[in-house]
Amino acid sequence: MRVEDQSSVLGRTLAANVAASLAEEDPTVTTNAPLNLPFTGIQSFFKYPVAVDLERFDADVGILGIPLDVSTQYRPGARFGPRGIRESSSLFAIGPDGAYDPERDETYLGPPWRIVDCGDVDVITADLDNSLDNVREAARRIVAAGGMIVGVGGDHSVTIPILQALEERGPFGIIQFDAHLDFTDERGGQRNSQSSPIRRASEMDHVTKIAQLGIRGTGSSSRKDFADARAYGSVIMGPAMIREQGIEKTMDMIPDCERYYVTIDCDGIDPSIARGTGTPSPGGFTYEEMQAMLEKIANRAEIVGFDFTEVAPIYDPSELTTQISARIILDFIGFILKARERRGDLPKRAKTAALPS
């Protein structure tokens, strides 16, 4: 697999030319450090290497763009979510050696982990079913090669094919962060829209338990949908309840599973910091609340994959929504890989390298 980081190549070339020119005038200028500034180069997620040949996927984490919003029922624009998050993520590009977190006194996302940008799924105009088939096939290739899938939507329908692609990794539970229940059976005969991913998940044999966090507001779903979700066994909690009881108790109420898949809808976050979404709902989570819960989830069990959906950059010219989204994605990847490090669950190549010669 060719995992050429185009941003890094361009950054190194430009930096070398600039540094060499400066060195002619000032011999004290060093010429061996590439600049690779956030606003330079061809954008990839967090400036990680690009690896679009999924037949030869060889990494620990594959970030897959899914620019699909065919099933959007209100404001469209989530098809531009992957592009917007890619661009904003360059602000948090940390390089191959990882980044130090002073609040936790830990270095995250450094060696031996390989994280790549798998490009975008091929989306077919106005064809939801075939587009979802393409999502499922791309996700299956990443999963079959041993990678953790990180899907970046796109509307929330994209969760359905990713979960289908993870069948061999089951059984696992689902933890959803969302303003809406997403438990609608069908609308106008369409069963795979943005309103239905958790209903479809409940029908999958390899999905065992579900927790739905952040659910709030009138119109989130019908009374019947709530009754059906509770009959299935879903644990449903809104932000007000979570704040009243605290995050520790909230985590205790999440059903125990050895493995989880996590799906995050942007409207689970409060629109005061993330208004760039099709269906914003006041009263959502803060960044700090999201970060704290995701860290505890990562430390609790194995995470088989996650997605971040419903970012529509057009509704937030400030780009704060895409920046917050990128940061949450990067945080969660870091928490997951750090938890694996602590469990001794390292890549095979890292274990082999550690053996004495």
pLDDT in tens, 161-217: 999 999 999 999 999 999 999 999 988 888 888 989 999 999 999 999 999 999 999
Instruction: Name, in order, each residue with C-beta under 8 angstroms of 158's C-beta and a sequence gap of 6 or more.
Output: 66, 68, 132, 135, 151, 307, 309
User: Helix (H, G, I), strand (E, B), or coil: what is residue 251?
Assistant: helix
- State the average pLDDT over residues 18-22: 42
In order, the DSSP letters of 189-202 are TBSSSTT-HHHHHH
Q: E strands, 9-80, where?
A: 61-66
**Boundaries of every domain in the chain:** 1-42, 43-354
How many angstroms separate the CA atoms of 80 and 75, rounded?
13
φ/ψ region of 355 (left if φ > 0, alpha if ψ in -120 to 50, else beta) reads beta
Instruction: Name, in order, each residue with C-beta under 8 angstroms of 71's C-beta and a sequence gap of 6 or more.
Output: 128, 155, 157, 190, 192, 193, 194, 195
- State the average pLDDT over residues 40-47: 92
pLDDT value of position 3: 44
Q: Is the pLDDT of residue 20 over 90?
A: no
How many angstroms separate the CA atoms of 307 and 105, rounded?
27
Q: Is the pLDDT of residue 24 over 80?
A: no
Least confident of 209-223, 256-270, 299-313: 209-223
pLDDT value of position 308: 98
pLDDT band per the 50, 70, 90 thresholds, residue 6: very low
pLDDT band per the 50, 70, 90 thresholds, residue 41: confident
Q: Is the pLDDT of residue 4 over 50?
A: no
Residue 49 φ/ψ, nearest 5 degrees? -55, 150
How many angstroms separate the CA atoms of 58 and 66, rounded?
20
pLDDT value of position 7: 44
- DSSP H helices, the chain, are 6-25, 81-89, 128-144, 159-165, 197-202, 223-232, 239-245, 247-253, 287-300, 320-343, 348-354
Least confident of 47-61, 184-198, 203-217, 305-319: 184-198
- State the average pLDDT over residues 108-123: 96
pLDDT value of position 150: 98
Q: Is the pLDDT of residue 285 over 80?
A: yes
CATH of domain 43-354: 3.40.800.10
pLDDT in tens, 129-141: 999 999 999 999 9
pLDDT band per the 50, 70, 90 thresholds, residue 100: very high
Report the amino acid identity of residue 352. Answer: T
Instruction: Provide the mean pLDDT of the chain.
Output: 90
Residue 155 φ/ψ, nearest 5 degrees? -75, 175
Residue 71 near residue 193, CB atoms below 8 Å: yes
Least confident of 35-49, 97-111, 120-134, 230-244: 35-49
